[in-house]
Amino acid sequence: MTKLNDALQAATASIPECLAAGYIDLASGMLLGIKSVDSQPTEVVELLAAATADLFQGPNVKMIESIFKKSRGLSDDGHHYFQEIIINSDNLIHVFIRGKNEEQVACFVCRKSANLGMVLTKSRSNMPLVEAAL
């Protein structure tokens, strides 16, 4: 996982005001890698994978995707509609991006003072590097 840690470190350095980056496998529920400029509470790190899985594949999300597919006459082929989720908290921007392997998601956490457009652009541009590291 050294390559993944290096890729997460590079992403953290290139995304504006990025404080942390993580990579989550939704299928296994595992946090595959994490890099942070500060130490993070253990409880938060341990919950990151589970919370990310809930965001992207919780029962209500699956139901919404199923309803969209049915209303559009599409078969349930396993493809997911939700590709990116942005959460603005009191002090931070949390960007979650699903990888080409739809069972993997990167999480980038930046200060709220960062330009959201640049955070998204740089987060997206770092995805191939992070994905290739596995």
> Domain residues of the chain, as ranges?
2-132
Identify the CATH assignment for 2-132 out of 3.40.50.620, 3.30.450.30, 3.20.10.10, 3.40.50.300: 3.30.450.30
- pLDDT tens for each residue of 90-102: 999 999 999 999 9
Q: Quick check: 41 pLDDT over 80?
A: no
100 Cβ contact list (under 8 Å, min separation 6): 131
Do the Cβ atoms of 17 and 113 come closer than 8 Å?
Answer: yes
Instruction: Report the alpha-carbon distance of residue 37 to residue 107 in Å, rounded.
Output: 14
pLDDT of residue 1: 63
How many Cβ atoms sit within 10 Å of the Cβ of residue 94?
17
